[in-house]
Structure 1
Amino acid sequence: MGKKTKGGATPATTALTAAGTDFTEHPYEHDPRAESYGLEAAEVLGVEPARVFKTLLAQTDLPCDHGLVVGIVPVDHQLDLKALAAAVGAKKASMADPALAEKTTGYVVGGISPIGQKRSLATVLDDSALPHGTVFVSGGRRGLDLELAPGDLVDVTGAITAAIAKGS
């Protein structure tokens, strides 16, 4: 893997480069009619969905940053809100309002990267990522995924890992 920047840097690619993290950009032509951004990326890039992760924001009863927490799960699974809440020590969690997610992260829905967000939020990566040599996450815009080692994703986001995904 190398650092490749095509089509302009995003906060995610800038953060990875600044951290000295190896990553590979995978741009693709996004279809605005796609029903699932993550599954679209897996299909277009020819990668098994278990290696492509989506970034979701949940609102919890934690006292900071509107209680927002980032959950990163495979695109062919759903976020288990109870498991996410338990992982961060919250009593409950619900999906965050998309407008709040966009304002807090600086990214648009469908292109929210777990890397380089405007605010550093508590982040949980589903532990199914760990056995893979590399995983794919949004690069900060629709039509751009970044490939990197799961350990590097944990390091650059300050994530913890836990079983937070439930079947599709």
Structure 2
Amino acid sequence: MAKRSAGVGTPASTALAAAGIPFTLHPYDHDPAAPSYGLEAAEALGVDPERVFKTLLADTELGIMVGVVPVTGLLDLKALAAAVGAKRAVMADPAVAERRTGYVVGGISPIGQKTRHVTVVDETAQLFDTVFVSGGRRGLDLELAPADLLAATGGTYAAIAKEGA
């Protein structure tokens, strides 16, 4: 895997490069009218949507948590809460998510966030040699090994996705 492409550096790609974690940047033409940024990325990149993961922030009594789930599904808030030892979780306000991560909604990467958060990656990521996550802006995905995603985020695996899109 190439480490980076000139001209498209983001905090996510910078963090991976600094950590020596191999990744590939995949820029694509983003359509602001796309109903699902994740499904748009899968189609534009020609990859199985189950390999493309979205980054969602949830608020718990323990603080903001990050859930990384396939774009083909939804974040199961009860499962995320259980995975982090919280009683309940609700989706974080988009403005809070942007402030805490330094990224815009639709381009939030689980890597290189302004504030480091407890991160849980859906266990299905382990089914693939590599997965795709946002590279830190709309129209840019990072491809990396699931174990490297955990290493970069300090995350853990758990069953936190449910059916639906």
Instruction: Using structure 1 for the length normalisation, give the TM-score.
Output: 0.96
Alignment of 1:65-84 (within 5 A): 67-84=63-80
User: Could you give the per-residue CA deviations for residues 31-85 of structure 1, whole angstroms, max 9, x where no partner exists?
Assistant: 00001000000011011111000000000111xxxx1000000001000000000
Question: What is the CA RMSD across the aligned residues, in angstroms?
Answer: 0.6
Aligned counterpart, 1:38? 38
- The code of the aligned residue for 2:58 comes to A
C-alpha distance in 2 between matches for 1:75 and 1:14: 24
Matches within 5 A, 1:144-163: 144-163=140-159
Stretches (4+) displaced over 4 A: none
Selected match of 1:101 from 97, 100, 109: 97
Unaligned ranges ≥5, structure 2: none
Counterpart of 1:131?
A: 127
Q: Percent identical across equivalent pairs?
A: 70
Counterpart residue identity of residue 139, structure 1 = G
2:48 and 2:33 map into 1 onto residues whose CA distance is 21
Code of the aligned partner of 2:8: G
Which among 108, 115, 120 is matched to residue 111 of structure 2?
115
Letter in 2 for 1:9: G
Separation (CA, whole Å) in 2 of partners of 1:102 and 1:4: 24
Which sections of structure 1, spanning at least 5 residues, go unmatched?
none
Higher strand share: 2
CA apart distance, 1:5 = 2.2
Which residue identity is paired with 1:115? Answer: I
Q: Which moved more, 1:113-122 or 1:2-11?
A: 2-11
Q: Is the 8 A contact 1:6 1:25 kept in 2?
A: no
Distance of 1:21 and 1:113 partners within structure 2: 15
What is the distance in 1 between the residues matched to 2:75 and 2:7? 31
1:29 aligns with 2:44: no
Per the alignment, residue 61 of structure 2 pairs with: 61
Instruction: State the number of aligned residues.
Output: 164
Q: Secondary structure at the match of 2:98?
A: helix
Q: SS state of the match for residue 127, structure 2?
A: coil
